[in-house]
Structure 1
């Protein structure tokens, strides 16, 4: 009988874009896989790939105790019905709810992947500060125990969880990112700008803490200096996140002539092949996939010297690091890459080499399956070609 694993995320978009390769690799090495998330348009895309996916009655921003208890009970009943050997939760809310439900349902093993500390731990808003001790206590309950493993994406978060006493350090595993098919991105053909003006891209969920405001301020500064760049913004506001940038604000920037807003982009390889510089002035990350994809394309990167981002970029080696919240230095970094194309090319070449050796999805999938094998008494598959 095949080993059954449940992968639980807070959006079907996340499962499709970040974990479908893992789910399909698990199937190939003998797992029966069930994907669960709130409903959305990507559920049918997952099913079209031959994966099982079920929607959940979950609201990401809900703080209603009755609704949250109902969700926990729903998850518990689902896990009792499915009887998996392992539940793997992604993001803090899914880690907490998935682990609590797994305990109640008698699931033998729990794996939790927390990509960054999330709104509750990074925001200074009153609501976030009030929720912090509650979430901290729930995390201890969810992450504790010999049959649990916590997967973190960067060394800063490893140290943070260790120092906070949220989990036994022996149960922490470092796996850098969710993995990128580097061969797909390395194989794209880069298109030269027709007018020779560099094309600069910020691609992310449109949240203030992704550094969108600093990007806009840097573009204004460049324009005030008579600099010309083709600035692009890809992504959509996330209404489930309190830090979402209002769409009206974005349209105002477009009307101001600062940038071209592309909205949601499915073909990231095609988009990255059409730009010259990628920036991500984020306040904190787990490990940003956009930077890894851009690195795999051989693009020069500019990002902030913060957890997650500095896992991808070493300053002056494979990209440029700038202080968080500093639009002046961000503008100067864009100027430097514009004025020094040979330096920019060297950074991009080094970024490509690093992406292939550290962040390729084959590496991530193998290490994830090895974590499962620790808990489920199933041998880890060491044949790289199988994943």
Structure 2
């Protein structure tokens, strides 16, 4: 008799609009799935991340993805490409990363019974902007999302209670929504760092968007410099021309000329930023659960942020940092100054931030939760 053939590995397909977005936001959970025995495939628009994805032993499928493109002319080639990848790969479960991938991927999955995880990591510009274009798009999403997300094989993954409640209010059935806080942070790679020498430095990591609070942060920095404080602001990130909320090249050049502002652009190892900074600042309007604050917290940095969805899950006022209203440069400047002038507060909040990550938000913890979700879906067990 022939020995029994080994069971084929279950196949997991990630769909993301950009390779760097997959590497930034999905890598810990993809690693956890791989280590649990899944064969991991990634369908995405390839920019510079192909070698990094291959190094993880994931199978890459380049597809066209026009970021911000939900118009039929922009969406149709992507929907066709996703469907073609699914036909070739025959995945056991598909994980759509972000709102755009969830909408286009769900359209591609129409008529299929493959279990689909729609990861809505923050509701994005469409839901935070008040422009006419975004209001029209939001109305379309209000009509479309419940119809796609409530399909029998479809489930929604959110990172914070606010997004869960917002999707429920849009008509997504509660039993279709699973809450897992964030994508996890590697607590072995990101270790507590000693404070740097020299003047107090604030660090910002993220895209240079109004929605990320970058203009409010620069305004707060100007207020502090005008008061005579020798504080520095280090900005790691770049504009996002595909996003209507992006800052302009002229603004960036103006910031580059201002005292105390250092523009680092995209940096390969974000720990370099937290090695140089005393405090992490992200005055965002809305997040899923911000990776930049998770990584800063893992490095033992105190946080200054807003009482916004997603941010409040990691920036807890009086525990891991200080929290201010959205788009309030004066309040933000006061919080930044308070942290800058108190080594005791920075040490206490930084220690608590690291502990919160270790207790609830590490890659190990989040990875186990996400793999358990995949296991239930591939086994036909109800999610909730």
> What is the TM-score of this pair, normalised by structure 2?
0.93
**Unmatched 5+ stretches in structure 2:** 1-7
Among 301, 307, 325, the alignment partner of 1:305 is 307
CA distance in 2, matches of 1:70, 1:339: 54
- Are 1:180 and 2:154 matched, yes or no? no
Alignment of 1:112 onto 2:118: yes
CA contact (8 A) 2:22 2:97 kept: no
CA displacement at 1:108 relative to structure 2: 1.9
CA contact (8 A) 1:84 1:107 kept: no
- 1:28 Cα deviation from its structure 2 partner: 2.3
Written as runs of structure 1 = structure 2, the 5 A alignment for 1:113-192 is 113-165=119-171, 167-186=172-191, 189-192=193-196
Mapped contact 2:75–2:104 kept (Cα < 8 A): no
With over 3 angstroms needed to count, the CA separation of the structure-2 counterparts of 1:267 and 1:378, relative to structure 1, is farther
Equivalent residue in structure 2 for 1:365, among 357, 364, 367: 367
1:133-187 deviation digits (Å, cap 9, x = unpaired) = 212222112211332221101111111112221x210121111111100222125
CA distance in structure 1 between the partners assigned to 2:18 and 2:305 by the alignment? 26
Provide the C-alpha distance between the structure 1 equivalents of 2:25 and 2:65, rounded to a whole number of angstroms.
Answer: 20
1:5 correspondence with 2:12:
yes
Which secondary structure does the structure 1 equivalent of 2:189 belong to? helix
Q: Give ranges in structure 1 of 5+ residues lacking alignment.
A: 380-387
Indicate yes or no: 2:79 matched with 1:72.
yes
Q: In structure 2, what is the Cα distance between the partners aligned to 1:301 and 1:101?
A: 40
Would you say the 8 A contact 1:280–1:304 is kept in 2? yes
Identify the match of residue 30 of structure 2 among 23, 44, 62: 23
1:91 corresponds to: 98
Partner of 1:284: 286
* Cα shift readout 1:213-268 (whole Å, capped 9, x = no counterpart): 11111111111111110211110111221111123311211112240101101111
In 1, distance between residues paired with 2:39 and 2:69?
31
| Cα 1:226–1:175 shift into 2, 3 Å | same
Query: What are the equivalent positions in structure 2 for 1:137-286 lying under 5 Å apart?
Result: 137-165=143-171, 167-186=172-191, 189-193=193-197, 195=198, 197-286=199-288
Count, aligned residues: 375
State whether residues 159 and 310 of structure 2, in contact with CA within 8 Å, keep that contact through their aligned partners in structure 1.
Answer: yes
Task: Confirm or deny: 8 A CA contact 1:186 1:297 kept in the other structure.
Answer: yes
Q: Tell me the alpha carbon deviations over residues 302-322 of structure 1, each in whole angstroms, 9 at most, x when there is no partner.
A: 000111011102211111001
TM-aligned CA deviation for residue 78 of structure 1: 2.1
The answer (yes or no) to whether the contact 2:124–2:286 under 8 Å persists in 1 is no
Task: Give the distance between the partners of 2:19 and 2:343, measured in 1 at CA.
Answer: 40
| 2:54 corresponds to 1:52 | no
Corresponding position of 2:5: none
Is the counterpart of residue 100 in structure 1 residue 107 in structure 2?
Answer: yes
Deviations along 1:262-305, one digit per CA (max 9) or x if unpaired, are 11011112321221011111111110011111111111110001
The secondary structure found in structure 1 opposite 2:13 is strand
Query: Could you give the per-residue CA deviations for residues 103-140 of structure 1, whole angstroms, max 9, x where no partner exists?
Result: 33x24201011111111111101000011121222211
Q: How far does the alpha carbon of each residue in 1:31-56 deviate from its partner, in whole angstroms, 9 at most, with x for none? A: 12110111211022211332111111
Q: How far apart are the structure 2 equivalents of 1:23 and 1:339?
A: 41
Q: Tell me the SS of whatever aligns to 1:99.
A: helix
Whether the aligned pair in 2 keeps the contact of 1:11 and 1:39 (CA below 8 Å) is yes
Moved over 4 A (4+): none
Change (3 A) 1:307 1:87: same
Match of 1:338 among 305, 328, 340: 340
Question: Matched residue of 1:356: which SS?
Answer: helix
Give the deviation of 1:20 after TM superposition.
2.4
C-alpha contact (below 8 Å) 1:6/1:36 kept by paired residues: yes
* TM norm structure 1: 0.93
Determine the C-alpha separation between the residues in 2 that align with 1:61 and 1:234.
23
